[in-house]
Structure 1
Amino acid sequence: MKLTVLGCYGPYPKAGGACSGYLLEDKEIKILVDCGNGVLSRFFQHCHDINELDAIFISHLHPDHMSDLMVMKYAIGIGQMQGKVKQSIPIYLPSSPKEDYDRIQYNDAFVRHMIAEDTEVNIKGIKINFKKTNHPVECYGMSFEKNGKRLVYSGDTKYFPELEVFAKNCDLFLCEGGILEKDITENTPHLSAKQAAEIALNANLKRVVLTHFWPETRPYNLYAEAREVFPNILELAEEGKAYFI
């Protein structure tokens, strides 16, 4: 499987950047994971025809993870009316907040599927499972597995021990870790770089890609904080870069 980072910032992008969005591919399969601000434009740099898209998975309905669905629905819906888009795109997402869930639909652009912890999806041989995270709105981490190789995406979350179990022994852990430990408070709904590294260490992981960067934080400082904890392959997500699983 190949994972291309389309956007890696939150809760807003830096100049020239985009919020959370990732393109997962395997041969003829194309899956979009999250679709925050600026992601649709990046998507079209890699997929010239939206008919190539097999499915969309959304971790939660905060704008930095789903706001470009508000324009993607027009790209699909208008394309359908013009005969250019052949079918509705399956989208898997939480059902709450309800007002955001309802706003996503436009004509027949999407076929919506609500997700929960016990949901299991199979997209052309890629098996997807979910883990509810600790975030102010309903949010899910995701596991993508094919041919014995597994990618786990944390979504947005505070630390909770079950995430270590969910990610255990995966081949690549795409984990939010975009703020420094010194900026974490009891009410911070995100992981620090140090916490992400601790999860990876406890989950017996060999490779971690940190993502969801606060635009004001220097990436090197995030890397240095995580490196103090995690001795194995550690990378910072780079927009446009592909990671192979």
Structure 2
Amino acid sequence: MRLTFLGTGSAMPTGTRAQSGYLLRHGDETLLVDCGSGVLNALARTDVGYEGVDTVVLTHHHLDHVSDLAVLLKARWLAGETDLTVVGPPGTSDLVEETLAVHEYMQGRLDLTLRDRTTGTFDLAGFTIESMAVRHSMQCFAYRLQPADGGPSVVLSGDTEAFPELIEFADGAAVLVHDCSFPDDVDVSNHPTPTTLGEALAAAEAELGRVYLTHLYPHTEGRHEEMLASLADHYDGQVTFAEDGLTVRVED
């Protein structure tokens, strides 16, 4: 399985990071998790392209996670690909339908499958996906994704404060992609800082592979080494800042 970071930024653009989006590939199967602003261009730069993605999973409905979804629908339609499955927290179906209702010319042109999910486990696009509610300002899910035919897992935190139960949800995962929006001197709720994330990683009873930090606000630019040092005061595992365009092979 391969994971490509399409967008590692946040609701405040930096000019170098797209908003949230992650592409998972296993064999011929592809899955897009979140579709914030700039993700469509990033997807077009991959060998999959937006034509090759017919399934999207949303962590939540904030604009920086969904704003390119309507753009993806139109681009796929223009490319002759009219089908798309969109799955996410309750309200996902209404979100897509109400977005399309604004654009009359798109009516009747798409073959959509829309599914609202609560927490639990489901199979989708060649992956087994387990969801967990996290701590954010609106309903948001973390996802654990594993190829349906077996192999290592990836856990995507979504937007969330750091807490040990979420880290334990990732126990045994080869890759944990976790929100780390701000450095320690920013007073913030609904997102972690390096210290709060490091404390949660240390407090949890979990074995993890690589940890990648994402959902990075402009406040973090130029401060990565400082943030990694702060996190390392609590947790001694492998932690890296994710970058747009980075592709990692997910292995045990």
Give the number of equivalent residue pairs: 237
Cα 1:195–1:41, aligned 2, differ >3 Å: closer, same or farther?
A: same
Asked if 1:95 corresponds to 2:97, the answer is no
d(CA) in 2 for partners of 1:41, 1:196:
31
d(CA) in 2 for partners of 1:229, 1:22:
27
CA deviations on 1:102-136 (whole Å, 9 max, x unpaired) are 43445425321112102412322x21111111111
Quote the sequence identity (%): 27
CA deviations on 1:179-211 (whole Å, 9 max, x unpaired) are 1233234xx111112222333332232320011
What does residue range 29-44 of structure 1 map to in structure 2 within 5 Å? 29-44=29-44
d(CA) in 1 for partners of 2:210, 2:35:
24
Matched residue, 1:236: 241
CA deviations on 1:61-94 (whole Å, 9 max, x unpaired) are 1011110112112112344xxxx21x41111112
Matched residue, 2:103: none
Preserved contact between residue 21 and residue 35 of structure 1 (Cα < 8 Å) = yes
Report the Cα offset of residue 53 of structure 1: 1.4
Q: Which of 158, 171, 174 is 2:174 aligned to?
A: 171
Matched residue, 1:52: 52
- Find the residue that maps to 2:5 and give its secondary structure: strand
Cα 1:111–1:104, aligned 2, differ >3 Å: closer, same or farther?
A: farther
Matched residue, 1:206: 209
Preserved contact between residue 183 and residue 219 of structure 2 (Cα < 8 Å) = no
Superposed CA RMSD:
2.1
- Find the residue that maps to 1:199 and give its secondary structure: helix
Matched residue, 1:110: 112
Deviates more, 1:165-174 or 1:101-110: 101-110
Deviates more, 1:42-51 or 1:163-172: 42-51
Cα 1:114–1:99, aligned 2, differ >3 Å: closer, same or farther?
A: closer
Asked if 1:216 corresponds to 2:219, the answer is yes
Preserved contact between residue 121 and residue 130 of structure 2 (Cα < 8 Å) = yes
Report the Cα offset of residue 156 of structure 1: 0.5
Matched residue, 2:142: 141
CA deviations on 1:132-154 (whole Å, 9 max, x unpaired) are 11111111000011323111000
d(CA) in 2 for partners of 1:104, 1:94:
16
Matched residue, 1:28: 28
Q: TM-score normalized by structure 1?
A: 0.88
Preserved contact between residue 163 and residue 197 of structure 2 (Cα < 8 Å) = no
Preserved contact between residue 36 and residue 63 of structure 1 (Cα < 8 Å) = yes
Q: Mark the runs of 5 or more structure 2 residues left unpaired by the alignment.
A: 101-105
Preserved contact between residue 61 and residue 101 of structure 1 (Cα < 8 Å) = no
d(CA) in 2 for partners of 1:207, 1:184:
27
Structure 1's consecutive aligned runs of 4 or more residues displaced over 4 angstroms after TM superposition are none
Q: TM-score normalized by structure 2?
A: 0.85
Q: Mark the runs of 5 or more structure 1 residues left unpaired by the alignment.
A: none
Letter in structure 2 aligned against 1:116: T
Cα 1:206–1:227, aligned 2, differ >3 Å: closer, same or farther?
A: same
Preserved contact between residue 93 and residue 115 of structure 2 (Cα < 8 Å) = no
Preserved contact between residue 33 and residue 57 of structure 1 (Cα < 8 Å) = yes
Matched residue, 2:71: 71
